[in-house]
Amino acid sequence: MKLSFLKRSSLTLHPTAQKLFKLMSEKKTNLCIALDVTEQNQLLEMADELGPELCVLKTHVDILKDFTPDFGDKLKQIAKKHRFFIFEDRKFADIGQTVSLQYHKGIYQIAKWADIVNAHIVPGPGIIEGLKDASLLLLAEMSSAGTVAKGTYTRKAVLLAEKNPKTVMGFICLKKISQKPGFIHFTPGVKLKRGKDSLGQRYRTVEEVLIKNQSDIIIVGRDITTAQKPLKQAALYRERAWEAHVQAIS
Ligand code: 5BU
């Protein structure tokens, strides 16, 4: 089934998924940028510069060396200005009680500023219960070489998502893994050319991910953030990804 993002917004029970599908459709972007920088101001400046190009901005708040409690509010203001969602790639992986505390409490207070978070399914369904007030992506597959998240494990993630459509809005995966159109597929490990880094990351191309593998959103980090002109590079990825999406559903 080849459906537009707009059509799919009416086929999900998840309010954040509905809004994200609509946003992608209106803003014409299915690009998520991973801003893996270690200084808050650099992150906020890049978010402001690249914001017009993306639908989702992905953070790893625990790599910031100068985090201050106003970070979330500042990022939220930029997200509102440019209309994008904030995805904290926290990869929760503990029992329900602990992940609930990690999501709401501690230094980062993730629940206050992140629209989307993700979780491993290793602990079983309790992790979804513990994060039931979050908008959750399940890690069904990973881009790294030798990942054990495959086969039965991936299928289990899909089953868990389908049982919890009001909490789970989609997946981190390498390809389309659920036939239910309400779930959004996010794929990391994307570059303009296939390849790998020196620490196990594997890259597929934009077209491979969106056309051949039928994913929805590409997550791109260093190839944009370390480019000489990040905005120009982001615009290029945005264009390639949107063209690939249009081709995939036509
Ligand atoms: P890169 O610079 O494009 O390689 O960054 C990829 C980002 O996506 C980085 O923040 C990773 O933590 C994140 N990522 C990933 O690369 N692969 C995965 O399977 C998952 C997350 Br889950």
| Pairwise CA distance, residues 33 & 21, whole Å | 17
> Is 91 annotated as catalytic?
yes
* Helix or strand run (H / E) with residue 76: helix 71-82
State phi, psi for 134 to the nearest 5 degrees.
Answer: -105, 170
**Regions of the chain with pLDDT less than 50:** none
pLDDT of residue 156: 98
| Pairwise CA distance, residues 34 & 223, whole Å | 10
Tell which one of 37, 219, 224 to mutate to probe ligand 1, the residue whose CB is within 8 A of the most ligand atoms.
219
Is the alpha carbon torsion for 134, 249, 237, 142 positive or negative?
Answer: positive
pTM: 0.98
Q: Measured from the CB, is residue 50 less than 6 Å from ligand 1?
A: no
pLDDT of residue 1: 67
**5-244 is classed in which CATH architecture?**
Alpha-Beta Barrel (3.20)
- Quote the tokens at residue 181: 């159109």
Which residue, by CA, sits nearest to atom 15 of ligand 1?
Answer: 188
Q: Are 235 and 53 in contact (CB under 8 A)?
A: yes
